[in-house]
Structure 1
């Protein structure tokens, strides 16, 4: 039986750092941090929280979650915004109204 997928060459922490760098370069947005890193057959899926719109006071900032796909070498495959919400919002995992 042939082996279809090999373990990723980059570690989870390296994938997170690579995803952050790619996303900040492409969007010019300030990343707050990595919220999840998950292995896939082709590499890694990394979720990153980003400040979309700074407001005064900062508790009114608009944030977003981006999903970034990284290959086994840390190269960007794809990215997409999955959610947008206010910093003070308590229900980012619920209904996706306004995304």
Structure 2
């Protein structure tokens, strides 16, 4: 299986959805302005973030805050497959306030 990336956007929320597979090197260090919630579907993915190496295996979830620099690597020769949601800080704030019926302050909005 070669590298592939599918990007879609949920029409009702605007949440960007990514479903991808990588072998070997996946991506250079970068950051996002959104909150990221991901799940490793297959294999083993590894990334540098917060000055440490983070490993995620099949069935594990991980989260990144906005502006956190991270990269990506597939240490297993079979690669890894994952799904990721990009949550806009304004949408997250509005959702929390709607659920809890009170204002909330996020570090990054």
TM-score (norm 2): 0.22
More helix by share: 1
1 or 2 for the larger relative contact order (CA 8 Å, sep ≥6)? 2
More strand by share: 2
TM-score (norm 1): 0.23
